[in-house]
Amino acid sequence: MIKNYFKIAWRNLWKNKVFSFINIVGLATGMCGAILIFTWVQNELSFDRFHKNADNLYKVWNRSYKDATGNIYTWDVSSAPIATELKQKYPEVKAVARVYWPTDRLFNYKDKSIMGNGLDVDPEFLSMFSFPMINGSKQALNDPKSIVLTQTFAKRIFGSDDPTDKILRINDNGNYKVAGVVKDPPVNTQFQFDYLVSIVPLVGTSEANNWSNSSFNTYVQLQPGTNVNALDKKIKGMITQHDPNLKFGIFLHPSTKWHLNSRFENGVAVGGAIETVRLLLGIAVLILLIACINFMNLTTAQSEKRGKEVGVRKVIGAGRLSIIKQFLTESILITAIAGVIAIALVQLVLPYFQELTGVKMFINYTDPYLWLAGCAFVLLTGLLAGSYPAFYLSSFRPVNVLKGLFKTKAQVINPRKFLVVTQFTVAIVLIIATIVIYQQINYVQSRDTGYVRNNLIEHPVTGTIGKNFEALKNDLINSGTAVAVSKTSMPVTLDASNGTGFNWGDMDPAHKNLNFTRFGTTGDFVKTFGFKLIAGRDIDFNKYPSDSSAVMMNEAALKVMGLKDPIGQTILSGTNKLTIVGVIKDFIIGSPSQDINPMLVFGNKYWSNSLTFRLDAHKPVSASLKQAEAIFKKYNPAYPFQYHFVDQAYAQKFKNEQRTGKIAFTFSCLTIIISCLGLFGLAAYMAESRAKEIGIRKVLGAGVANLMQLLTRDFVALVLVSVVIAAPIGWWFMNKWLQDFNYRIHISWTIFLYSGLAAVVISVVTVSYQAAKAALANPIKSIKTE
């Protein structure tokens, strides 16, 4: 019987080639979009879940007490002694590992010099986390002068030779023995590295007891069955117990939430990347649902043709259940064909989707569970798509059908119109979302950064750059390569250092916990970056040797501190007395979508990780970079010239929003395409059901333009209903999305106008073919039976 169902189903598909083609293309497109999203979601949900100890792994986070504004800050870097205290005094803690994020180092072996990016970790890192060893043991880092390489990095250095026990020279100043090789980290982990070295030399004696310097990520593995809430209460006041001036506590954040749930507001976890996962899951379901709606519309559009078939089957004894099975079989067959095409489409567009999401994904076709899930997916999609047509067509009364009395009735509201309205509502919401996202991106990109990004080059302070800085600076300027050079504590686009505990004048005691962004410079700060100096002067060690105790501030700091005449006033940082020498205009160092934090810029000759120089704008950039490379090679010969443009680094701040915009645009286009197929199906249905009416109107003198307007008007009405429904939904969702940005646009009514016009134009273009076809048809053929 099943064989017979499939045979009849195949004949019907072949008989109605055009409708079958549209059905299959619509389902295949929807299934392709859903499969891609489901693959991405699976990758996101699996982040750091492959570790054997995943359920007992936690990260130490800090939570401040409320400051004067009532804010509570959270951050995930901690001080070095926390790890020692947790391991020694709390039996619930099985293992602890500190991680210093990631560091570029130069590796020398024989005649090879290769840069690698890796992590400084405690020895227990390898036993806590599941990175399989190819060579060596989990105790490979017990020796502070040992190193563990990834498989790919080992091959880059040693080729096909066995790297075990070989000696590498790192940063041209230390020898390390290769004690192990691990498999390359998978893409679904936050730990991406070329090598691992012991963190012990980095911590040293100065950091081992320094509770105020939060520079490390600390991970703990708890004993199975530990009550985490009870442990959090025990360790909360650990830092304040050791240093009463530090008004913040620690808590543990589980590994299951590291990737997707690490956004905190006022000390409380409020989400994170999980919101994007939910959004895309919703889009996947909607795309699949819209594709199924197309199938329903296109199938029921042929209801009159299939009606006589149903009537004959019932007369010769077929029951309703048998007919339902027949139509569901057709649906599953079409879905199976669409599924095969969808897999081919997935392979074709996967590289683009990876670029779109910024995630490398791999579909393992050898996994039997994948095929089991695929078959279930096809079966469920087929049942969903075929359910309405099956129950609808099987309900026809054979007497009416065979007497020719059966005909579909034109209704103001019917399931097909409702489903098309649903389709276009979703499409218009996605159009609104795309417009809002791109307007927000453009709005933030046009924000004044507070400095001149053009021709600004950054280079990490590596090797001998620190000790040769003055000579290197002079050569860059004297050669005409650069017009200004400055060494800073970090890149100008990176907000990586914050601190509290500052005192000034008649400060309100509640401001003691006020959080400041901290920045350090060796001088020429204003000149190099092009900051606007509002008051005072720049830090300059050549003119003012005492500037090691000087500090500059931004406008936000001046405002919150309430200083009317700041130049010459002092700020206390612990026992250090700092003199305010300048005030600069606010500049963006963190997210361009957020408010600018109060900032203090310290004069410091030694706290420097980044060198920045401004190219001469009157010379070709390529020639200047070539000269700069030669100068850097002169003073830092062992290291490569690792420059990057500041404007490009700044552009990376918009990466997530741009990615969201591209995803919204891509899937809105996909939704529109699928929706247009559904509209085409409904147009075919209406042209079929009103063929005699159109023929009579044409005989009575109606023109082609009038007939096209008659048919098109109904569809425009459906789309306008969709616009009315979609506008408040789109406004609500996008207004909620914009709440994450302090610096944001206001949603204009023109967005809904443009979205509605786009939807109307698309619908008119889609149905115009069917309308023209019906209007141009020979009326004799449609009314000759009358």
Give pLDDT, residue 70. 66
**Residue 613: pLDDT above 60?**
yes
In the chain, % of residues over pLDDT 70 = 85
**Cβ within 8 Å of residue 149, ≥6 positions away:** 157, 163, 178, 180, 181, 182, 194, 195
Identify the pLDDT of residue 214: 82
Which residue blocks in 209-319 are alpha helix, DSSP H? 228-235, 238-242, 274-300, 303-315
Exposed / middle / buried, residue 464 (Cβ in 10 Å: 0-12, 13-18, 19+): middle
Bridge partners (DSSP) of residue 484 are 614
The token pair at 250 is 């620690």
**Which of 88-97, 289-298, 599-608 has maximum average pLDDT?**
88-97
Q: Cα-flanking dihedrals φ and ψ of residue 746, to 5°?
A: -105, 135
Residues 247 and 86: beta-carbon distance below 8 Å: no
Q: How far apart are CA 158 and CA 135, in angstroms?
A: 14
CA distances (Å), origin 229, targets 53, 77, 128, 346, 603: 19, 20, 21, 44, 43
pLDDT value, residue 420: 79
Write out the two tokens for 723: 């616009």
| pLDDT grade for 783, boundaries at 50, 70 and 90 | low
Q: Smallest Cα–Cα separation from 47: which of 282, 355, 261?
A: 261
Separation of alpha carbons 311 and 405, rounded Å: 12
Residue 460 has pLDDT above 70, yes or no: yes
What is the number of H-type helices and E-type strands within the chain?
A: 24, 25
The H or E element that residue 692 is part of is helix 691-699
Residue 65 or 166, more confident: 166
Confidence of residue 7 (pLDDT cuts 50, 70, 90): low
Contact status, residue 61 vs residue 160, Cβ threshold 8 Å = no
Most confident among 17-31, 67-81, 645-659 (mean pLDDT): 645-659
Q: Which of 416, 292, 595, 110 minimizes the C-alpha distance to 408?
A: 416
Query: For residue 786, is pLDDT > 50?
Result: no
Cα–Cα distance, 290 to 26 (Å, whole number): 9
CB of 132 closer than 8 Å to CB of 182 = yes
Query: Looking at residue 173, what is its pLDDT?
Result: 67
Nearest CA to 753 out of 779, 769, 735, 730 is that of: 730
**C-alpha distances out from residue 276 to 144, 282, 284, 357, 741, Å:** 41, 10, 12, 11, 16
- 672: enclosing H helix or E strand: helix 655-689
Q: What's residue 759's pLDDT?
A: 87
Percent helix, percent strand, percent coil in the chain, to nearest 5: 50, 20, 30
The pLDDT tens digits for 356-383 are: 888 787 777 777 877 887 788 788 877 7
Whether residue 562 contacts residue 615, with contact meaning beta carbons closer than 8 Å, is answered with: no
Distances (CA, A) of 503 to 514, 576, 578: 10, 10, 10
The angle formed by the CA atoms of residues 211, 212 and 217, to the nearest 5 degrees, is: 75
pLDDT, mean of residues 507-516: 74
pLDDT at 648 over 60: yes
pLDDT at residue 645 is higher than 90: yes
Tallying the residues shown for the chain, one arrives at 786
Selection from 287, 312, 254 nearest residue 51 by Cα: 254
Average pLDDT in the 539-559 region?
Answer: 91
Q: pLDDT digits over 276-307, tens only?
A: 888 888 888 888 888 877 777 776 666 556 66
> Which two three-digit tokens encode residue 739?
């709440």
pLDDT score of 784: 62
**Those residues with Cβ within 8 angstroms of residue 616's Cβ, 6 or more apart along the chain or in another chain:** 455, 480, 481, 482, 483, 624
pLDDT over threshold 80, residue 138: yes
pLDDT reading at 530 higher than 90: yes
| pLDDT greater than 80 at residue 667 | yes
Phi first, then psi: what are they for 68, rounded to 5°?
A: -65, -25
The more confident residue out of 220 and 426 is 220
The strand pairing partners of 251, in sequence order, are 61
Average pLDDT, the chain: 84
pLDDT band at 319 (very low <50, low <70, confident <90, very high): low
Q: CA–CA distance from 223 to each of 52, 95, 663 (Å)?
A: 13, 9, 42
Provide CB contacts within 8 A for 229, sequence distance 6+.
none
DSSP code at position 78 = B
Structure-token pair, residue 346: 């997935």
Is pLDDT of 635 > 50? yes
**What is the average pLDDT across 120-129?**
95
Mean pLDDT of 696-724: 77
Label residues 619-643 b or e (16+ Cβ within 10 Å = b).
Answer: eeeeebbebbeebbeebbeebeeee
Please report the pLDDT score of residue 663 as a whole number: 83
Predicted confidence at residue 223, as pLDDT, reads 95
Question: Which residue reads 């090691």 in tokens?
Answer: 548
For residue 4, name the pLDDT band (cuts at 50, 70, 90): low
> Residue 303 has which token pair?
């209801």
Segment of 12-26, 352-366, 562-576 carrying the highest mean pLDDT: 562-576
Q: How many alpha carbons fall within 13 Å on the CB side of residue 503?
A: 8
The answer to whether residues 179 and 136 touch, using CB atoms and an 8 Å cutoff, is yes
What is the mean predicted confidence (pLDDT) over 515-541? 91
Mean pLDDT along residues 441-461: 90
